[in-house]
Amino acid sequence: MAEAVETKFAQSQLRELNTALANGRFVSVRKLLHELPPSDVALLLESSPTKTRDELWDLIDGDIHGDILEELSEDVRNGIISKMVPARVVDALEEMDTDDLAETLSSLPDEVLQDILQSMDAQDRFRAEQALSYGEETAGFIMNTDTITLRPDVTVDVVLRYIRLKGELPENTDTFYVVNRTDNLVGLVPVTRLLTADPEDKVADVMNSEAEAIPVDMPDNEVASLFERYNWLSAPVVDEKHRLVGRITIDDVVDIIREDAEHSMMSMAGLDDEEDTFAPVWQSTQRRSVWLAVNLVTALMAAAVSDLFEATLSQMAVLAILNTIVPSMGGVAGNQTLTLVIRGMALGHVNPGNSRWLVSKELAVGFLNGIIWAVLIASVIALWKQDLTLGLIIAFAMLVNMIAAALSGASLPIVMKKLKIDPALAGSVILTTITDVVGIFAFLGTATLFLI
């Protein structure tokens, strides 16, 4: 066992595979690919440029295609599927759990999805359409249907004998579900409870009937926070009539937590969170251009504000030199507040009851920061440019912009959430526009009044 640990964790097989690939020893590559667990093969594919990725995929046997596809990230998976013959995709999908099937199919471009559905036989197509019937990003979408159900009136001994007869349990089974004749969920029995119970006890006596069930239409990020908050390993999913329809396991929730957290980080840089690091150049260029276009408009707006003060600028070049300092400080301070509030909302800390308090607090922080940096920048400029008035003007602009930054950083995400706009995606660009415009206006405006 010690050795097994070594080889896996050191990823020596992966390294060996990379070497074999670089030297064109395809027979070794093929052999190694089939020795690695599917999740390691998925990691290898995700870490390879598209060309290598396609070469590797061609070396992999069809019967493990499904296992690998379900471990891949959306962008990479779609790239591979769109190059496969529909019939082979259908074969790969057959082995998948319902949640992985739903995720794989829903992310495909529409024409590819239609091709694949048409290549399926009636039974498979029914299963696929069933999996797709719940809205994306809901509990129904991420649940699995392989639950083991018990009746309340049988004894633990009967259950134990039934399980022994069955031989194997679905992956990650930690709880059995107790349902009545109409399939309504009436309780849970943890696997460990079966071990400690008296074999003569009825299921009804050992079950936990207080536990919660997840409604099938609950948004997946709410599901994730419940799992996090209550340290669940799995949870039953019920429909509107409280009938058991499936279960959600922690491994699927982990993916959602990772994706949610990444989503904020990627969105704030104007990136799609599924963006494939190793995508072809042209595809990456297109994806990034949206954000650059938005920023160009912002930058031109800032330039237009400066343009209002052309006469002032042409009289004093020093104003042009210092013109970027105030907007830049406002942008940083505002983005700090924005990030903190977005994180607070994601963790469920910010609610209507405390948001006014939060905005006031951030305003106070902005005011204090404004004072501190105003004094500092006034001293620096007065010394550098030997001009006290200029120092006082930039200090005033700094204070104004720091307050504007705090106010917009704290209130933008709250307002945007009410308007159902994703604050991580649009918040930063709106904020920067505000701090640029206010910063330039305050600095050049005051300078025009007092210096010209």
Residue 26 C-alpha from the chain's centroid: 36
Which residue number, 215 or 445, has a Cβ lying nearer to its own copies?
Answer: 215
Which residue number, 85 or 332, has a Cβ lying nearer to its own copies?
Answer: 332
Look up residue 80 and give its two tokens: 């591979």
**Position 371: which residue type?**
I
Look up residue 41 and give its two tokens: 């093969």
Supply the minimum distance, in Å, between the C-beta of residue 81 and its own copies: 20
Which residue number, 171 or 205, has a Cβ lying nearer to its own copies?
Answer: 171
The neighbour count for residue 216, using CB atoms within 10 Å, is: 19
185 three-state secondary structure: strand
Supply the minimum distance, in Å, between the C-beta of residue 198 and its own copies: 8
Supply the minimum distance, in Å, between the C-beta of residue 357 and its own copies: 6
Supply the minimum distance, in Å, between the C-beta of residue 141 and its own copies: 18
Question: What is the 3-state composition of the chain as percent helix, strand, coil, each rounded to the nearest 5?
Answer: 70, 10, 25
Which residue number, 123 or 196, has a Cβ lying nearer to its own copies?
Answer: 196
128-147 as b/e: b if 16+ CB within 10 A: beebbebeeebbbbbbbbbb
Which DSSP letter does residue 422 get?
Answer: -
Q: Who contacts 84 (Cβ-Cβ below 8 Å, separation ≥6)? A: 92
Which residue number, 87 or 297, has a Cβ lying nearer to its own copies?
Answer: 297
Query: Which residues make beta-bridge pairs with 185?
Result: 179
Look up residue 258 and give its two tokens: 């990772």
User: CA-to-CA distance for 192 and 210, rounded, in angstroms?
Assistant: 17
Supply the minimum distance, in Å, between the C-beta of residue 423 and its own copies: 13
Supply the minimum distance, in Å, between the C-beta of residue 259 and its own copies: 9
238 three-state secondary structure: strand
> In 3D, which of 250, 229, 226, 260 has the Cα closest to residue 137?
260
Which residue number, 2 or 419, has a Cβ lying nearer to its own copies?
Answer: 2
Are 443 and 318 a contacting pair, CB within 8 Å? no
Are 191 and 170 a contacting pair, CB within 8 Å? no
Convert 88-143 into a string of H (helix), E (strand) and C (coil): HHHHHHHCCCHHHHHHHHHCCCHHHHHHHHHHCCHHHHHHHHHHHCCCCCEHHHHC
Supply the minimum distance, in Å, between the C-beta of residue 122 and its own copies: 32
User: CA-to-CA distance for 21 and 108, rounded, in angstroms?
Assistant: 29
Which residue number, 118 or 289, has a Cβ lying nearer to its own copies?
Answer: 289
Which residue number, 211 or 392, has a Cβ lying nearer to its own copies?
Answer: 211
User: CA-to-CA distance for 390 and 320, rounded, in angstroms?
Assistant: 12
Residue 398 C-alpha from the chain's centroid: 35
Supply the minimum distance, in Å, between the C-beta of residue 86 and its own copies: 29
Supply the minimum distance, in Å, between the C-beta of residue 373 and its own copies: 6
Which residue number, 17 or 416, has a Cβ lying nearer to its own copies?
Answer: 17
Supply the minimum distance, in Å, between the C-beta of residue 126 and its own copies: 27
**Position 160: which residue type?**
L
Supply the minimum distance, in Å, between the C-beta of residue 318 and its own copies: 7
Which residue number, 42 or 116, has a Cβ lying nearer to its own copies?
Answer: 42
Angle separating helix axes 355-384 and 388-418, nearest 10 degrees? 160
Which residue number, 87 or 290, has a Cβ lying nearer to its own copies?
Answer: 290
